[in-house]
Structure formats: C-alpha cells, structure tokens
Amino acid sequence: MKGHKWGDEALLLIAKELTKVGKEHIVARMSEDSFVLVFYQFEHLDEIKTLADVSINKVKNLMSKQSEAYFYSASAGVALYPDHGLVYGDILRHANLALSAAKKNGKDQVVFYNTFMHQSKEREYEITNAIKPSLQNDEFYVVYQPILDFKSGEIRKLEALLRWNHSSMGYIPPNDFIYLSEISGSILELTHLLYDKVFGQIKTWNQMGKYFTVDINISPKVLMHPTFIEDIERYIEKHEIDNKQIIIEITESMALENIDQTIIVLKQLKDKGFLVALDDFGSGYSSLTYFKHLPVDIIKMDKDFIAKIDKSPSERHFLKFVLDLSHAMSKKTVLEGVETIEQVEILKLHDVDYVQGFYYHKPLEVSQLNKTIQSK
C-alpha cells in the first residue's frame, strides 16, 4: 500500500488533470475515489462519449506515471439533461447507476444510463437481501467441474463452484450474486459454507478411495481477511483432510490489484502445504514481470487462449510461448474452456498438463460426478 498521504496527493493530481478536459465544465470530488464532471453546451452524443473516454484515459495515464508497480482502472457513468432527468439530483443518481453498471461489466469503460438500470438495481437489492436467509435455509449448493490430466484422460482435479437455487426466485447465476455478496459483506459467510461443504465432500471421497485435489475460488476480500488462513485450517481440521488436497484459486486481476500483500498471503499458504492457482491468466493485465514473482503452482489459462487456435497460427504460437514459459518456471498449466474436438487435436501438439471445459464435462452435482467417477 502506498499510504494515505500518497493517496491524497494522487487525488489532487487527478482533480487538476480533469479540469483540463473540455473548455466549459465543472469538476467536483464526489466521494473517496469518485469525481463528478458536468459538461455544458455539447451538440452530439459522440462528443460526450469522447470527453468521457478522454477523462478516464487521463486518470489512468496519470496514475501509471506515478507508480509503475500498480495497475489502475477508471470507469465512467453518464446521464444527460433533459433525457435522463430535469434536476441535478436525478441526473446524478442516474449517472451513478450507469457507473455501477460500468464497474460490474469489467471496469475501464464508459456506460450511458438507460431505464433498464432501475430494474437491474431493484433486482440487485432483492438478491442482496435474500442471501442471508438463503444461507440459513441451506439453498446454496456446490457443483464440481472435472479437470483432466490431458495425457491420460483421468480426472485428477475438480473445481468447486457455488450455486444458488432460491425458493421463489429460482436459479440465480453466480455472476448475479457473488459480487453482491462482496459488496454486502456476505462473501465471508458464503466462503465458510463452501469450505464446509467441499471439505466434507473431499472426506467422503477419501473414504471411497477417490483422492482428488479441489480448486476453491477465493474473493479478494476473503484472501485479505485477517483470519483467512486460520479459518480455512479450522475447516480442514474439522473434516480431517490434507492441506495438499486444496488448491486456493485467485484471479490474475485480483493478484495484481494488491500485489505486495497478495504475495505475502500466498507464501503463507504454500508454507502450510496448500497449492495455489492463478486463474484467468491472460484475461486482463498479463505481466511477465509479476508472473515470475507470484508464488503459484498452477497457471489456469483463460479460454481466450484457445478460442481461436484452430483458425489462427499466431494464436497457436502464442499458446506455445506461454506453455513453455510456465513449464520453464516449474508451474503446471490448465487450459480452460476446451469446447471442440478441433481444439483438442491442436492441443495434442503442445505440452499441456490439464484441461477443463464443456467438451469433457460441464459442472456436475455430486450424484452425477460420482456416477462419472465410477464409470471410469
């Protein structure tokens, strides 16, 4: 962390930079890291889009010059007068809704307000308020997607994925509730539920003579929680399983958001015998500089790595480069998103450790997975 003094200075620099955008506008700081820009006298929508793009790019460029060791994103939500409101309060509220949509969609983008955002926000409130009652009613469950040894075709690993079937709303996709649980603070309770269900199931498989390592996706808020390692070890002890059967999976963007602290926690995990996987590698700010410093055992390569390998020689060359680099650094590789026989045939030409995707198996409930295991 850079500290409060650096943060305050950075905010001043951002404000000064934003005052240079456009000739007639107002800049005001809204909250911690949010600014409001009010533009006047524009004639075309494209002009506002350009101004918004220029604004977020100025912020990103400014911050990258201040510290090359961190990655920065910037997003903008836009509401227009009189289309989206006749008074300042309504326009500001609608711009905030658009900003929330921009952040939810992956950041680094400009989103214009539309009326459907109200419906989306109402559903978010409904989902958020339903999480804790559903935890008490045991409406969350776990499915497992097999990860296969590419050479032998055997299921060696599993990825545990939390699912939710609400009593009245029905099935709620993970993308709709995970980020809301992080905002509301319910993510810790959901993660503890995941520990309990997954570790208990691992114990059952051990007793059946089926020994798997299981990936668990960990939220940044959980990873940085002061009792994170203590909590996970408590559930390990409860279910009497081996630390080495658990793979703690973090995303690439999450690792790079707070690189120094992430490295400290990952080293502590590895010292205690846990395996660590870097998920979605290649989906965001791939950096070979940080790649070599992160103490991970497994690189899970994003599905974009293989989406076009049957159509593009350059994509195949790049895949080989990343595979060779990973192996040179003693890291195992998992190719995610394998969906076609054409992809499989091309992967046979490369040194791939593990594969995962719908071509082999979709995420399965325990009863389905047990049938699959027994049939092998």
Domain spans of the chain, in order of start: 4-114, 124-375
- Read off the amino acid at residue 297: D
pLDDT class for 66, splitting at 50, 70, 90? Answer: low
- Read off the amino acid at residue 61: N
| pLDDT (average), residues 169-192 | 94
Question: What pTM, to 2 d.p., does this model score?
Answer: 0.76
Position 213 pLDDT exceeds 90: yes
CATH class of the 124-375 domain in this structure: alpha beta
In this prediction, residue 1 carries a pLDDT of 45
Range scoring the smallest mean pLDDT among 56-70, 286-300, 325-339, 361-375:
56-70
Range scoring the smallest mean pLDDT among 202-206, 213-217, 283-287:
283-287
Q: Which residues contact 307 (CB under 8 A, 6 or more apart)?
A: 337
The single residue listed with the structure tokens 């015998």 is 273
Position 53 pLDDT exceeds 60: yes
Helix extents (H) in the chain: 4-18, 45-66, 88-104, 116-136, 174-184, 187-207, 220-223, 228-239, 252-257, 259-271, 288-291, 313-328, 341-347, 366-375
Quote the CA–CA distance of 208 and 329 in Å, as a whole number: 35
Fold of 4-114: Alpha-Beta Plaits (3.30.70)
- Read off the amino acid at residue 88: Y
The single residue listed with the structure tokens 């995990």 is 269
Per the prediction, the chain carries an average pLDDT of 88
In this prediction, residue 7 carries a pLDDT of 65
Q: Which residues contact 117 (CB under 8 A, 6 or more apart)?
A: 94, 97, 98, 100, 101
Position 33 pLDDT exceeds 90: no
In this prediction, residue 5 carries a pLDDT of 65
